[in-house]
Amino acid sequence: MNSPTRKTEFTTGDHPLSVTHEVMNQPRPLENYNLYEQDTALREAVLREGAGHACEDLSRFGTWAGKAETIELGQQANANKPTFRTHDRYGHRIDEVTFHPSYHELMRVALENGLHSTPWTAPGQGAHVARAAKYYMHSQVEAAHCCPVTMTFAAIPSLRNQPDLAKVWSPKVLTNAYDSRNVPDSEKTAVTIGMAMTEKQGGSDVRANTTRAHALGPEGPGQAYELVGHKWFVSAPMCDAFLVLAQTQRGLSCFLMPRWRPDGSKNPWQVQQLKNKMGNVANASSEVEVRGALAWMVGEEGRGVRTIIDMVAMTRFDCMIGSAAGMRQAVAQATHHCHHRSAFGARLSEQPLMQNVLADLIIENEAALAYTMRVARAMDNQNNEHERLLARLATPVGKYWICKRTPNHAYEAMECIGGSGVMEDCIMPRLLRESPVNAIWEGSGNVQCLDTLRALQKEPETLDAFFKETGEAKGADRRFDQHLAQLQHDFADISDFQYRARNLVDRMALALQGSLLLRYGDKDVADAFCASRLQNNGGMNYGNLPSGTNPTAIIKRGTPVVG
Ligand SMILES: Cc1cc2nc3c(=O)[nH]c(=O)nc-3n(C[C@H](O)[C@H](O)[C@H](O)COP(=O)(O)OP(=O)(O)OC[C@H]3O[C@@H](n4cnc5c(N)ncnc54)[C@H](O)[C@@H]3O)c2cc1C
């Protein structure tokens, strides 16, 4: 039996009779370990998907991400919520959100490490893969501040629809630096970008937006407008500019709205209040009124959704990375705890029923990671038609599935730790509170399923690409072959797709995950995945691996070793 112990200190004098107990059978904190080197599945995925050149950098980053001081940054950024002031003491409107220094430090590290930039500044083999791997580790430290990092990253494809604006803004967006000052962007060399689509009367259906745009002179792409209206959710309101949707005569259009006007005065974009969120609390989200704010049109007039969807597609991809990362952190905490905790005469990680739960949680995480990194490779190869079609379909399917699988995963991992897992001085409550967010923003679950349908209708070849990709594993496992054949059969008729969409999209995600694990994954993980997810054995909760699977090997693979 293991039992790393820490003796209690005398608290009431030195008399031996005053010693109440010895602290034992408690694990040491999971800290000072390398998040990259101690994550076998991640290292394998990086090599497999073409980012082998980044291993050294990722290992260096992994050391930083596992340090006790780094972990404390995440804790502090959440313990000290951002605060908001409309005016300064003299009555000037300032719209200033103040964050704890730990938030700024996390932002600095993220941006100096190019989490918002590298696939755009140094595209090519493995660029998205390497960035996804780094984001995966960074997000495990603290997920909420990754929101502005993602939005800044994702803004580039939309901005490129307006080359004159992109020429001015891209250099400052893409520089690997962080400038948190509340000053005009003209005084900065590094800026961050947010997005504002959602309004009170409609978030998923942005066609209902009522914010209006009035041309200041000539109309059309790149021209200056003033916007009047409101936005109901605007995260990271201290960003230097936002991609915003507003109505013109020709319909919903996309605009770039800076927080300051070029003359250095404040753009009348006024934050009303911060949202009172159950999770994602280190990140500020706000409600905003727009009172004649200057903005430039991005892309074609009346095609705002088409323009901003390039940004949204990237943020959806980051939701997949973020949720897979949440799963990994939950797995790391649960396996570490159960390795160092004993009950009824054995380590928890050796009790058969706990083995089943832990191995099942690891499988879910490995499947999510394999899927995400495969999509990252597709993004690195968008000039290849198969990869383009695959990314188009696999992004909404994966965003739906991976994000939706995360909340219950976080809860099960918390339960592995028992009562201590519920306490606010560990990361588990934060992982649980963070877990629904990715599923809801950037297009909620049903919206992802409907987007899958849209892709199938607009480009039926996406389905061919999907089945070509998944079919690569045919013959490797009988249960997989049956799953795939049934899925293909059920796609022969998609007349009532909307009603059946969740069922079909669930099974698509499982098919791609199964295919990837069978082709490239660990054989015990792949076998247990097929046994538990591709054939119906009646169980709905985690811990439903059937007999014959190998939890010991899976748990060994998933458990981080602290030096
Ligand atoms: C923490 C947080 C931060 C956010 N930050 C931002 C931000 O920075 N910028 C921004 O623009 N927005 C932001 N949002 C808003 C977010 O994108 C929206 O909440 C989301 O898109 C859903 O829109 P809604 O809230 O209006 O819900 P609704 O659109 O009313 O949807 C409610 C439910 O109905 C479902 N639904 C919608 N249409 C259909 C349909 N046709 N068939 C079946 N089901 C359907 C949806 O899937 C959802 O489950 C943020 C949200 C959160 C929670």
Which residue do the tokens 């380590």 mark? 347
pLDDT of residue 143: 98
pLDDT of residue 14: 66
Q: How many DSSP H helices and E strands does the chain contain?
A: 19, 11
Are 199 and 234 in contact, with CB atoms under 8 Å apart?
no
**Strand (E) positions, 6-51?**
none
The ligand 1 atom nearest the CA atom of 444: 47
Ligand 1 centroid–CA 290 distance in Å is 20
Are 72 and 80 in contact, with CB atoms under 8 Å apart?
no
How many Å separate Cα 283 from the centre of its chain?
13
Q: What length is written for the chain?
A: 563
Burial of 485 (0-12, 13-18, 19+ CB in 10 A): exposed
* Count of beta carbons in the 10 Å neighbourhood of residue 13: 7
Residue 492 structure tokens: 């022969």
Which residue has its alpha carbon closest to ligand 1 atom 35?
Answer: 446
Ligand 1 centroid–CA 446 distance in Å is 10
Ligand 1 centroid–CA 321 distance in Å is 20
Which residue has its alpha carbon closest to ligand 1 atom 44?
Answer: 446
Q: Which of 399, 496, 396, 504 is nearest to 455 (CA)?
A: 396
* Three-class SS state of 84: strand
Q: Which of 497, 438, 511 is nearest to 468 (CA)?
A: 511
Which residue has its alpha carbon closest to ligand 1 atom 13?
Answer: 233
Q: Which of 224, 241, 227 is nearest to 186 (CA)?
A: 241
Determine phi and psi for 200, rounding to 5 degrees: -60, -40
The ligand 1 atom nearest the CA atom of 443: 21
Distance CA 223, CA 211 (A): 17
DSSP state letters, 198-237: -BTTBSS-GGG---EEEESSS-STT-EEEEEEEEEEEEST
The ligand 1 atom nearest the CA atom of 151: 8
Ligand 1 centroid–CA 204 distance in Å is 5
Top mutation candidate among 204, 274, 440, 449 for ligand 1, by most atoms within 8 Å of CB: 204
Are 320 and 135 in contact, with CB atoms under 8 Å apart?
no
Q: Which of 490, 492, 493 is nearest to 504 (CA)?
A: 490
Distance CA 145, CA 82 (A): 11
Cβ contacts of 33 within 8 Å, gap of 6 or more:
66, 560, 561, 562, 563
pLDDT of residue 540: 87
The ligand 1 atom nearest the CA atom of 280: 1
pLDDT of residue 82: 98
pLDDT of residue 96: 96
Ligand 1 centroid–CA 314 distance in Å is 17
- Give whole-number Cα distances, 258 to 9, 159, 263, 296, in Å: 57, 13, 12, 9
Burial state string for 494-507 with b = 16 or more CB within 10 A and e = fewer than 16: beebeeebbebbbb
Which residue has its alpha carbon closest to ligand 1 atom 14?
Answer: 233
pLDDT of residue 494: 80
- Give whole-number Cα distances, 302 to 79, 305, 306, in Å: 43, 8, 9
Residues in the chain where the model's pLDDT stays below 50: 1-10
The ligand 1 atom nearest the CA atom of 445: 47
Top mutation candidate among 149, 151, 198, 199 for ligand 1, by most atoms within 8 Å of CB: 198
Distance CA 545, CA 534 (A): 11
Cβ contacts of 120 within 8 Å, gap of 6 or more:
153, 156, 170, 174
The binding-site residues of ligand 1, defined as CB within 6 angstroms of any ligand atom, are 194-198, 202-205, 233-235, 277, 280, 285, 437, 440-447, 450
The ligand 1 atom nearest the CA atom of 447: 47
Ligand 1 centroid–CA 468 distance in Å is 33
Which residue has its alpha carbon closest to ligand 1 atom 17?
Answer: 441
Ligand 1 centroid–CA 231 distance in Å is 13
Ligand 1 centroid–CA 318 distance in Å is 17
Q: Which of 395, 422, 417, 427 is nearest to 508 (CA)?
A: 395
Are 323 and 438 in contact, with CB atoms under 8 Å apart?
yes
Distance CA 143, CA 133 (A): 14
pLDDT of residue 5: 44
Q: What confidence tens digit (pLDDT) does each residue in 263-316 have? A: 999 999 999 999 999 999 999 999 999 999 999 999 999 999 999 999 999 999
The ligand 1 atom nearest the CA atom of 197: 11
Ligand 1 centroid–CA 437 distance in Å is 10
Ligand 1 centroid–CA 205 distance in Å is 8
pLDDT of residue 10: 47
Q: What confidence tens digit (pLDDT) does each residue in 60-99 have? A: 999 999 999 999 999 999 999 999 999 999 999 999 999 9
Ligand 1 centroid–CA 146 distance in Å is 19
The conformation of residue 161, written as its DSSP 8-state character, comes to T
pLDDT of residue 68: 98
First-to-last C-alpha distance (Å) of the chain? 19
